[in-house]
Amino acid sequence: MRYQMKLRTRSHRTKVAVLRVGVAVVLGASLAGCVSQRERTVKGWLVGDASERHPIKVGSMPVGLNFAVPASANGLTQRQGYDLRSFLRKYREKTEGPLIVAAPSGGANEIAVIHALGDIRREFKRAGISRHEVQFDAYSGSGRASAPIKISYTTFVARGPVCGDWSDNLARDPENQHYRNYGCAAQQNLAAMVANPRDLIEPRGMTPRDSQRRDVIMDKYVRGNTTVANKSKDEKAKASDVKGGGSN
């Protein structure tokens, strides 16, 4: 009799333990579902704005041009002059600065470097670059016979996001949320096409207004004349002069 009671007690304890384990598993699964749901709602790809979901990174990058100047040279060659003018056009488009010119000193080509620097200054003047935009530096030529003249400036560069994450199942989305790759291609194309990446950081300054027409109107106003622009006979028309094109 005692043996049977012990068996029943153990059986009862086993059922209670199994029940507790089952409840713990169910609660654990429910909590895991809540955590998973909470994690999903804060992921970056769920942000509505594509510029925040797939940001474009704008950084600075040096752009340089080197001119080899042999000791026998008498200034820049024709090809070097063409390359310098093209380089300066790009610099003016980017409107960044300053221009840094590093010339070798103490090398075997020092005299040739002086002649080349004279040509470079003349090209700067033709391009409308003031001396305040240029910084001249010297570096050791180490006795090299053709140590180069180095011209450089820093410009902004836009880097688009990395696209191609198609891990979401687009065929089944009960929440109808943005998927990971949504808007990424548009951001990548914008980074590739923008003419001046600095525009993505701050707006450009306004150019001075054209005051020629304003001065003409103000002069007429001061003299007491009419400020209405004179129009030719062909520019004038009356409503009674306009004939309909329909038939009677």
Question: In total, how many domains does the chain have?
Answer: 1
132: CATH: 3.30.1330.60
Q: Does residue 118 belong to any structural domain of this protein?
A: yes
Mean pLDDT of the chain: 78
Q: Does residue 97 belong to any structural domain of this protein?
A: yes
Q: Does residue 100 belong to any structural domain of this protein?
A: yes
pLDDT in tens, 66-110: 998 888 888 899 999 999 999 999 888 876 678 999 999 887 888
Q: Which is more confident, 19 or 231?
A: 231
What confidence category does residue 177 fall into, taking pLDDT thresholds of 50, 70 and 90?
confident
When pLDDT is averaged across residues 214-221 and rounded to a whole number, the result is 86
pLDDT in tens, 98-154: 899 999 988 788 899 999 999 999 999 999 888 888 999 999 877 677 789 999 998
Q: Which is more confident, 189 or 196?
A: 189
CA quadruple 176, 178, 182, 183: dihedral, nearest 10: 120
Which residues does residue 152 pair with via DSSP β-bridges, in sequence order?
64, 100
Q: Does residue 127 belong to any structural domain of this protein?
A: yes
What confidence category does residue 35 fall into, taking pLDDT thresholds of 50, 70 and 90?
very low
Between 3-7, 164-168, 211-215, the lowest mean confidence (pLDDT) is in 3-7
- Tell whether the model's pLDDT for residue 39 goes beyond 60: no
Q: Does residue 56 belong to any structural domain of this protein?
A: no
Task: Kindly give, in sequence order, each residue whose CB lies less than 8 Å from that of residue 123, ignoring residues fewer than 6 positions away.
Answer: 81, 84, 85, 88
Q: Does residue 148 belong to any structural domain of this protein?
A: yes
Q: Among 202, 17, 16, 235, which residue's Cα sits nearest to residue 95?
A: 202
Pairwise CA distance, residues 73 & 112, whole Å: 5
* Six token digits for residue 75: 């200034």
Q: Does residue 96 belong to any structural domain of this protein?
A: yes
When pLDDT is averaged across residues 186-194 and rounded to a whole number, the result is 93
- Greatest mean pLDDT among 61-70, 211-220, 222-231 lies in 61-70
- Give the pLDDT of residue 18: 45
What confidence category does residue 43 fall into, taking pLDDT thresholds of 50, 70 and 90?
low
Q: Does residue 106 belong to any structural domain of this protein?
A: yes
Pairwise CA distance, residues 123 & 92, whole Å: 13
For 105, the domain range is: 61-156
